[in-house]
Chain A
Amino acid sequence: MVDSTRSTRQWTWIFAGIFALVMCLQVATLGLVQYFGAMQRRHFGTLSVASNQIFLIEQFERASYLALIGLANSDLELVFQEKLMAQDVARQFQAAIEALRDGTPTAVGQNRVSVETVAEPETLAILTRLEARWREVQAAQVRVLRSKNYAIAGNSGLTELRVAADVIRADATHLMHELGREYATDLRVLGWVQAIVPLLALGGTLLLAGLVLRKLVVPFGRTMEELRASRSDLQRAHDQLEQRVDERTRELAETNQVLRDQSEVLESVLESMAEGVAVVASDGTFRVWNAEAARIVAVSPRELEHSRWLEACPSFHADGVTAFERHELPIERALAGEAAMAEMLVRCAGDEDRWLSWAARPLTTPRGEGRGAVAVFRDDTLRKQAEARLRQSHDELEQRVAERTRALREAQRQLVDTALAAGKAEVATNILHNVGNVLNGVNVLAQLIQERLQARSWDGLSKTAALVAGQRADLGRFFTEDERGRRLPEYLEQLAARQSADRAGLLENVDRLLEHIEHIKRIVALQQEHARSVSLREDTALPDVLEDALSINMAGLERHDVTVVRDYQVRPRLHLHKHKLLQILINLISNAKYALADTPREERRITLRMTQPAEELVRIEVIDSGCGIPAELLTQIFQHGFTTRAEGHGFGLHASVLAARDLGGSLHAHSDGPGKGACFTLEIPTAQEREATH
C-alpha cells in the first residue's frame, strides 16, 4: 500500500514536470509572438504616422484656404476656428516628425501608436527636409493671412502656399515609400515567423515529451530503486550525525561552562586588582568598571561617557595646571587606535586631587576592526607624595655630596701635592744616599792615605842627614872608612826605592779619591738638571734617562755587587716630562737594589728591559731577582705610606704611580711570590698630549 502511494506520487511529479516544461515552451512561444507582434505594430505604426503626415498637410492647406475665405467674407469666427485648426495640425505634424526621429509614441487621429526610430540615413535626410519645408509652409500661410489680399484666384501668396504644400506632400509621400520599402521585407519575414512559431512549439512539445519519457521517466524509476536502497544508508548516516551533534552539544556545554568559569575568574581578577580597569565601547560609553576604578574616581560608569569625563573629573597634565583636552585623554587616543599612557591630576568630588597613571590600548576584533578600548589606571597620589619627599631628600643629599666632594677634592689636591713633594724628597734621599755611598769611598781612601802617610817613618832620612852633617869635616874618610859611611849609599838607595813605592801608592789613592769626587759631582749635576726641568716637557731619549737613573744608583749597585742587565729592544725618543720618568726609574732601581739585600751576591741581578708592544706605547720593565712580593701586598705597595723597609717612608711607589699617571701611562707590579723576584712595569704612551695637572 505504501509502495503504491509512493509510485503514484512519483508519477504525479513526473507529469507535473512535463506539464511545467510544456508550459514554459508555450510561454516562450507566446513571448516570441508578442515580441514579433510588437515589432509589427511598430512598423505599421510608423507607416501610419508617415501616411498621416500627407493627410495633415492637406488638412493644414484646407484650413488655410478656409481661413482666407473667412477673411474674404469677414467671417472672423471662421478665420479663428480655421487658424486654430491649422495650429493644431501644425503641432501634430511637428510631433510626428519628432516621434519618427526619436522613436517615441505619437498620436494618429484619436489613437496613440508606437513607432520605429528612423535610422536609415536616406530616410533621415527626407525627414530633415520635411521639417524644413514644413516651416516654409507655415511661413507661407502666415504671409497669406497677414496679407491684405484676400482673393482666392490670382493670389500670389496663396500660390506660394500651394506650391510649398505640393513640395512637402511629395516629400511626405517619398518618406512613406522609403519606410514601406524598408519594412516590406521585415513584415514578410514576421508573417512567416508568426506562422511557423506555433508549429515549432508543437513539434518541440512532442520532442520534449519523448525526451522526458526516455531520459527522465525510465532513469527516474531506476533512481527510485536506488533511493530506496540508499535510504537505510541515509538513516545510518543520520544516526551517526545525530550522535555527533549530541557529542558536539556536550562539548559546547562544557566549553560554555569553562567560559563561564573563566568569566568569573576574570571578574574576580578585575575586582581584586589594585588598579582601576575601565573598558570603553566604540561609542565612548564606559562598559566595564571594576571596584578599584569606582573607588578611585567615585563616579558611576553608567553615568559616564568619556566625553563627559572632563566634566565629571577635571583632569590636568603633570604640571597640575594645563587641563587635558578631550582628544588627549588616553581612552580617546586608544579609541583612535593608539596605545597611550599618561599621568593626570584629577580633581575628584570634594576637590580632592588625585594623581592617576593611565595606560590605554585599543581593543580590536579578530578581523582587526575597532571594538573600543581598555584602560588601566591607578591612584599614584601616595607615590607622588613620596616621590616629592624623596626628591627633597635627594636634593639635600646632592647638596651635601657636592660639599663633601669639594672637600675631598681639596684634600686630594693637598694629598697629591704632598705625594709629589714626598716623591721629590724620596729622589733627594736617593741622591743623598748615593752621594753618601760615594763619600764612604772618599772617606776610606782619605783614611788610607792618612794611614800610609802616618805609617811612613821619616826618621831614617833625618838621622842620615844628621850623620852626614856630623861628618861634614871629613866626609871622605867617613864614606870610605866608617862602616856607617860605607853602608849609607845602600841605605839611601833602599830609602829612595821605598819612597818611590809609597808615592805611587799615594798617587793611586789620590786618583781614586778624585774619581769619587767626580762621581759626586756628576750626581749633584744630574740632580740639578733634574730640578731645572721639573715642569717642562722635552725631547728625551729614553735609554739616556735609564742610564741616568742607573748612574745615580751606581755606587750602591756596585757596592752590593748587583749585576745590571740592559735589554733595550727599542730606543725611542719621546716628548715628555723627563724628571718624572727619571723619578720613577730611580725609585724602581733603588727598590730593586734593596730587594736584593738578602739575595746571595752572585745572584743579585737587575734587568732593565725596554720594549714597544704597540705603536703608541713604550714599556719599561725593572726586573729584579730579589725577595719578591707576597700576593696580598701587590695591591698595597702603591698606597701612600706603605713600606716594608724599616727606614722607608712609603712615598716612593705612590709618587711613582702618580708620576706615571701624569705621563699618561701606568705602573704595575708583578711577582710570583716571596723569593721569586719582582717585575715593575711602566707603560707610557708615545703621544704625550696631556699636560700634567699637578
Chain B
Amino acid sequence: MFAATVSRPLARAAALATAMIAACTPDHSNPAEHLPVPRTASQTAAPADQRPVRIALSAALVSEEGVPLYLRMIRYLSNKLGRQIELVNGLGYETISGMLNDGVLDAAFIGGLPYVLLHDQPGADVELLAAPVMKAARYQDRPICYADLIVHKDSGIRSIHDLRGLTFVYNEETSNPGYNIPRARLLELGLTDGFFGMVMRSGSHEESIRMVAEGRADASFVDSLVLEYELAQGSSVADRVRVVESLGPTGIPPVIVRSDLPEGVRQGLQRHLLAMHEDPEGRRILDQVLIQKFVRVDDTNYDDIRERKSRADAAGFQHLK
C-alpha cells in the first residue's frame, strides 16, 4: 500500500534521507526510553522473575484519556521498585482476567466484579494488593465507589422507572457498576421481565457516557470514578449527561497481583503504593487522578458485589433485558 500511494521520486528522496540520516547522525537516544522495541519470542519466553513486571489498566478507574497519567504512576513505581514495568490498557475485563489467570500479567488495576470472579474461582491465584481512596467527600475516606445512573441532560427521565422500554447501554457484563449493580437494582424492583426496550454493550464506561451524550442510548449505569474524572477534565461529552440515581457504596476497583509474583516485587509494589501519598512526586500524581491515597483492603470490602451477583444468579436473572 505504501509503494502504491507514494510517488516514486518522493519515496526515493525519503529513502535517501533516511539512509543519510542513519549514516550521519550519531545515536544519542536511549532506545529503551524512547522507542518501542518489538517483543520477540525469546523475550516472551523469558522467566517471570527476569522479565519486566506486567500490569494492566482496566477501564474501571479512568477513561482512555487518563491513561497517560497512570503511565506516570507506573513510571513512578518503576523508579521506586528499580524494576521495569510494562503497562497495557484498552483491553476488556475478561481479557485482563484471562491474562492474569494465564500468567501473562502480573498485576492489574481491575474492576471489583472481575476481582471477585477471579478470587472466588477454584484455585484462585490472585490477591488484593491495595485499593484507592478517592478524594471527593462522598467516598467518606473509604475504598468505595458508586454506580451512577446517567441520562441525557435534556431528557425528561427522573428515575429508573422512567426507563421502561428505552435503550440501555452497559460497558461489559463483568462490570460491577455497569452491569452487576443495575441488574441487582432491577431485581430489587421486580423489573426482570424485559424492562428496557433495547440493551446495548459499549465496551467501556467512557463509551457508554459518549453514547448517552450523543443520544445513541437513553441511559447507562457508569462507574462514578470514570464519570467524575471526565467531568474534572472538562469533557464536553460528560457535560451533556446528568445523574439520576446513585447506587452504592460498593467496593472500589482494587489493585491485584498474582500470588506467584516474587515476594519482594509484590511487597515492594504494595509498600510504594501505600506510601505514595506521603511522597511529594507521588502526591502530585495522585492529585491528578483524584485519588487521596492507596490503602490496604480486605476481601470483605467486595462482599456487596458477591451478594448482588449471588442474588441475581439465584433468581436466574443473569442478563439485563
Interface residues of A (CB under 8 A from B): 41, 43-45, 47-48, 50-51, 54-55, 58, 71, 74, 76-77, 79-81, 83-85, 87-89, 91-92, 95, 107-113, 138-139, 141-143, 145-148, 169-170, 173, 176-177, 180, 187
Whether B16 lies near A107 (C-beta < 8 A) is no
Q: With a CB–CB cut-off of 8 A, which chain A residues contact B1?
A: 58, 169
Whether A176 lies near B13 (C-beta < 8 A) is no
Verify if B6 is at the interface (C-beta below 8 Å from A).
yes
Selecting from B32-40, B177-185, B270-278, B312-320, the interface stretch reads: B32-40
**Given the contacts A55-B2, A146-B92, A112 and B25 also touching, CB distance less than 8 Å:** yes
What are the interface flags for B97-130 relative to A under an 8 Å C-beta threshold, 1 for contact and 0 otherwise? 0110010110000000000000000000000000
Q: With a CB–CB cut-off of 8 A, which chain B residues contact A74?
A: 98
Q: With a CB–CB cut-off of 8 A, which chain A residues contact B88?
A: 80, 83-84, 87
Whether B13 lies near A180 (C-beta < 8 A) is yes
Q: Which single residue of chain B is at the shortest CB-CB distance from A67?
A: B91
Q: Which single residue of chain B is at the shortest CB-CB distance from A112?
A: B29
Task: Determine the distance from Cα of A657 to Cα of B36 in the docked complex, in whole angstroms.
Answer: 131
Whether B105 lies near A80 (C-beta < 8 A) is yes
What are the interface flags for B198-219 relative to A under an 8 Å C-beta threshold, 1 for contact and 0 otherwise? 0001011001000000000000
A81-B44, A107-B34, A173-B6 provided; 12 other pairs, C-beta below 8 A? A44-B17, A44-B20, A48-B14, A48-B18, A71-B95, A80-B54, A107-B29, A112-B34, A145-B92, A145-B95, A170-B5, A173-B5
User: Total contacts A to B, CB within 8 angstroms?
Assistant: 143
Q: Which single residue of chain A is at the shortest CB-CB distance from B39?
A: A81
Instruction: Please give me the 4 A-B residue pairs with the lowest Cβ-Cβ distance, nearest first.
Output: A88-B36, A44-B17, A146-B203, A146-B92
Task: Determine the distance from Cα of A448 to Cα of B96 in the docked complex, in whole angstroms.
Answer: 179
Whether A51 lies near B6 (C-beta < 8 A) is yes
Choose among A77, A92, A95 the residue with the greatest number of B CB atoms under 10 Å from its CB.
A77
Q: With a CB–CB cut-off of 8 A, which chain A residues contact B2?
A: 54-55, 58
Q: With a CB–CB cut-off of 8 A, which chain B residues contact A145?
A: 90-92, 95
Whether B89 lies near A87 (C-beta < 8 A) is yes
Whether A84 lies near B203 (C-beta < 8 A) is no
Q: Which single residue of chain B is at the shortest CB-CB distance from A79?
A: B95
25 residue pairs of the A-B complex, CB under 8 angstroms, read A41-B24, A44-B16, A44-B21, A47-B14, A47-B17, A51-B11, A51-B18, A79-B95, A79-B104, A80-B105, A83-B88, A87-B36, A87-B88, A87-B90, A88-B37, A109-B18, A109-B35, A110-B27, A111-B22, A111-B27, A113-B25, A142-B64, A143-B203, A145-B92, A180-B13
Write the nearest CB–CB distance from B96 to chain A, whole angstroms.
Answer: 9
Write the nearest CB–CB distance from B32 to chain A, whole angstroms.
Answer: 11
Whether A108 lies near B203 (C-beta < 8 A) is no
Q: Which single residue of chain B is at the shortest CB-CB distance from A113?
A: B21
**Given the contacts A107-B29, A145-B95, A76 and B102 also touching, CB distance less than 8 Å:** yes
Count of B residues near A, CB < 8 Å?
Answer: 49
Q: With a CB–CB cut-off of 8 A, which chain A residues contact B34?
A: 95, 107, 112
Write the nearest CB–CB distance from A244 to chain B, whole angstroms.
Answer: 64
Verify if B31 is at the interface (C-beta below 8 Å from A).
yes
Write the nearest CB–CB distance from B92 to chain A, whole angstroms.
Answer: 4
Write the nearest CB–CB distance from A186 to chain B, whole angstroms.
Answer: 12
Whether B25 lies near A142 (C-beta < 8 A) is no
Whether B25 lies near A111 (C-beta < 8 A) is yes
Whether B39 lies near A146 (C-beta < 8 A) is no
Whether A112 lies near B28 (C-beta < 8 A) is yes
Q: With a CB–CB cut-off of 8 A, which chain A residues contact B31?
A: 110
Whether A177 lies near B203 (C-beta < 8 A) is no
Task: Determine the distance from Cα of A83 to Cα of B99 in the docked complex, in whole angstroms.
Answer: 12
Q: Which single residue of chain A is at the shortest CB-CB distance from B203?
A: A146
Write the nearest CB–CB distance from A150 to chain B, whole angstroms.
Answer: 10
